[in-house]
């Protein structure tokens, strides 16, 4: 990192201490905006174009016009990474509706505002990658797709924040959010997978998109890695029973990568230790990010 962290603020790199946003910005006032989190490995930005595609899809879904082309924003991301001299790290790319009035009308915001932060992230302490996480079921329901699709990576993370508060109160790192029908959707900041016993072998299950979850970039990468390794991966509706009876559980996310879970709601999963399938996928993921694909 240079002596000062530099933030890309709508076309200009400025020191972090000078990076300011209007109190009239609808991203601040109403959570009106979208974002992406990306990882830098060995100076390469993992799945940069995939993240940009998802950003644009999220923006289209909420009728938010990004005032740059994808190519322009890609160059802005690369410029910010280079300016901060980051070989490994984390990127937060944010698009807000922009500055407007105190009223909720988004058409009072003449232009969206974009900023890019490059820094570091550690979602979970290192010990949990060896020992596994304990997680709980959250009483906070996932937002209904008929209100705001969970596939939109919006700035409104209040349900996730409430679920995180429940996890902290329970003394654990993560919580599972369920939909109104009682099906598993995702965790506070990660997608969830369960390795389950089947006659003649094992299968890996993960909730389907229609359950109400973010289509994680890391989720899709891990599905590909698992299938290449010879595992059957199914996207099926899952309940608490499917979690409690699983042989292994693991979580995936841009920040978290792949992390094992060994306990859900006080119930040990499998033998209470990270499992072999999870271990193999963690290894394969680490191999992948050594030469991180950018498309």
Task: DSSP for 15-42, please give it.
Answer: EGGG----TTBHHHHH--EEEEEEEEET
pLDDT (average), residues 48-64: 98
What is the structure's pLDDT at 94?
Answer: 98
Q: Of 189, 177, 165, whose CA–CA distance to 35 is shortest? A: 189
Distance (Å, rounded) from C-alpha 160 to C-alpha 226?
27
What is the structure's pLDDT at 3?
Answer: 75
pLDDT above 80 for 267: yes
pLDDT (average), residues 26-34: 98
- Domains along the sequence of the chain with CATH: 6-119 (3.30.470.10), 127-290 (3.20.10.10)
What is the structure's pLDDT at 164?
Answer: 98
pLDDT (average), residues 112-120: 98
pLDDT (average), residues 39-47: 97
What is the structure's pLDDT at 30?
Answer: 97
pLDDT (average), residues 6-32: 97
Strand partners, 186: 177
Q: Of 217, 207, 201, whose CA–CA distance to 258 is shortest? A: 217
Distance (Å, rounded) from C-alpha 12 to C-alpha 33?
20
Distance (Å, rounded) from C-alpha 245 to C-alpha 266?
13
pLDDT above 60 for 254: yes
pLDDT (average), residues 70-99: 98
pLDDT band at residue 39 using 50, 70 and 90 as cut-offs: very high
The neighbour count for residue 242, using CB atoms within 10 Å, is 17
- List Cα–Cα distances, 191 to 1, 100, 212, 214, in angstroms: 31, 34, 11, 8
What is the structure's pLDDT at 145?
Answer: 87
What is the structure's pLDDT at 197?
Answer: 86
Distance (Å, rounded) from C-alpha 158 to C-alpha 201?
40
Give per-residue pLDDT as tens, 149-164: 999 999 999 999 999 9
Q: Of 80, 76, 61, whose CA–CA distance to 1 is shortest? A: 80
Give per-residue pLDDT as tens, 219-251: 999 999 999 999 999 999 999 999 999 999 999
> Which residues have C-beta within 8 Å of that of residue 104, sequence separation ≥ 6?
26, 30
pLDDT above 70 for 2: no
- Tell me what the pLDDT averaged over the chain comes to: 96
pLDDT (average), residues 44-64: 98
Burial letters 41-74, b for 16+ CB under 10 A, else e:
beebbbbbebbbebbbebbeeeebebeeeeeebb
pLDDT (average), residues 255-262: 97
pTM assigned to the model: 0.95
Name the DSSP class of 158.
H
Q: Copy the structure tokens of residue 102.
A: 């105190």
pLDDT band at residue 1 using 50, 70 and 90 as cut-offs: low
What is the structure's pLDDT at 99?
Answer: 98
User: CA 88, 90, 95, 100 torsion: positive or negative?
Assistant: negative
pLDDT above 90 for 46: yes
């Amino acid at each position: 990192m240079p002596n000062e962290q530099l933030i890309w603020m709508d076309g200009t790199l400025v020191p972090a201490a000078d990076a300011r946003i209007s109190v009239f910005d609808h991203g601040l006032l109403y959570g009106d905006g979208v974002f992406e989190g990306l990882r830098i490995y060995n100076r390469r930005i993992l799945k940069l174009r995939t993240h940009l595609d998802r950003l644009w899809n999220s923006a289209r879904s909420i009728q938010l016009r990004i005032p740059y082309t994808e190519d322009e924003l890609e160059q802005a991301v690369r410029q910010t990474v280079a300016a901060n001299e980051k070989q490994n790290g984390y990127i937060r790319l944010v698009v807000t509706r922009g500055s407007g009035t105190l009223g909720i009308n988004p058409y009072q915001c003449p232009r969206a505002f974009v900023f890019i932060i490059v820094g570091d992230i550690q979602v979970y302490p290192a010990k949990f990658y060896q020992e596994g996480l304990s997680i709980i079921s959250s009483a906070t329901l996932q937002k209904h797709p008929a209100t705001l699709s969970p596939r939109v990576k919006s700035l409104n993370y209040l349900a996730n924040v409430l679920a995180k508060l429940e996890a902290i109160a329970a003394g654990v790192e993560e919580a599972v959010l369920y939909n109104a029908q009682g099906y598993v959707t995702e965790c506070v900041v990660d997608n969830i997978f369960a390795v389950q016993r089947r006659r003649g072998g094992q299968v890996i299950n993960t909730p389907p998109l229609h359950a109400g979850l973010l289509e994680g970039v890391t989720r899709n990468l891990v599905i590909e890695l698992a299938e290449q390794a010879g595992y059957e991966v199914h996207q099926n509706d899952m309940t608490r029973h499917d979690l409690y009876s699983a042989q292994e559980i693991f979580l995936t996310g841009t920040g978290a990568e792949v992390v094992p879970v060994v306990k859900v709601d006080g119930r040990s999963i499998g033998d209470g230790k990270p499992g072999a399938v999870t271990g193999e996928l963690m290894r394969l993921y680490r191999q992948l990010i050594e030469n991180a694909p950018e498309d």
